[in-house]
Amino acid sequence: MENGGKEIPQDANEHCPGPESESAGKSDACEGCPNQEACATAPKGPDPDLVSIVERMTTVKHKILVLSGKGGVGKSTFSAQLSFALASMDFQVGLLDIDICGPSIPKMLGLEGQEIHQSNLGWSPVYVESNLGVMSIGFMLPNPDDAVIWRGPRKNGIIKQFLKDVYWGELDFLIVDAPPGTSDEHISIVQFLQATGIDGAVIVTTPQQVSLIDVRKEVSFCKKVGLQVLGVVENMSGLSQPLSELRFLDGEQKDVTELVIASMREKVPEMLNLVAFSEVFDSSGGGGAKMCTDMGVPFLGKVPLDPRLCKAAEEGRSCFDDSKCRVRATALKAIVEKILSQLKVSRVDDGDA
């Protein structure tokens, strides 16, 4: 919890006026608080780190948060592929992973085992390509299996350090991959970046109600903190896969794929060029599109489940480099174009960002 820019200590009294308040340590609400003396004698005024963050962010043109109300909806996969897509358009892109307890971005960008280096300009991002840099706490863990067991204030501290100490250089886009929910990390990133100008948030969901219930809370969070919702992406919107890549089983669960493919190749070869589609999650409630209509926010589009994309994420590479990942890549490209259109940003080859 924060008040006036500084964190309220976790062991503070219930009606704490805030460490920066003129009544800090002096009001009736402070009686008996273990922090009373420290608050009463502490200097008051704006957090100097916020000034450093504003200065650091002056070289970043656009800042986009990627959020989700529910975990496991493919938010980090979307963040990674959004960053790959923008970089492939020749934009200068930074990807900041603030999912402190579950940093999966290093894996999805093919950067496992990399470390952060420091220069006289600050912390240096780890680069996938010359125009795509990444920062994550995952680079700071001695062992990738180590658990990060931190309370809110320490999480907020590392997020603040990422924002004020990482030297990105000139960026067209900073993509921030946040953890699921509406907790400390979300409040912190919005407050720390508010003075620098945040373009908005892209919210990722899946079609079923169990996800949409939480995503509605995420939309409400954005509205309460004054963060524009650039749009909602419905991820895992059905399974889409070339027919020739499916496996076929008989009634006894025996694999008969070779027999089926051979038969199709002989009798109906044109079928091998078709793409099979199946609903995975129940979308009878209208899915993400209806939720967007109900809540008055843009719907950016649907992205199907695609095994090729899953494989690309596991291998830390862009699905746009895989000609066989055409279904997912086409859907993602359409969404990226909508985001650029909302921000009134031209592709680099059409003009400056």
Binding residues: 16, 30, 33, 39, 69-76
Strand partners, 278: 239
| Nearest in space to 164 (alpha carbons), one of 123, 117, 107, 113 | 123
Strand partners, 240: 277
Give me the helix-helix angle, 326-342 and 307-314, nearest 10°: 80
CA distance 84 to 131: 10
Phi and psi angles of residue 185, each rounded to the nearest 5 degrees, phi first: -60, -40
Binding residues for [4Fe-4S] cluster: 16, 30, 33, 39
CA distance 19 to 42: 8
Element (H, E) at 4: none
Concatenated DSSP letters for 203-225?
Answer: EEE-SSHHHHHHHHHHHHHHHHT
Binding residues for ATP: 69-76
Query: What is the CA 324 to chain-centroid distance, rounded?
Result: 25
CA distance 218 to 205: 10
Phi and psi angles of residue 206, each rounded to the nearest 5 degrees, phi first: -115, 170
Do the beta carbons of residue 301 and residue 334 sit within 8 Å? yes
Do the beta carbons of residue 235 and residue 206 sit within 8 Å? yes
| Nearest in space to 304 (alpha carbons), one of 222, 236, 229 | 236
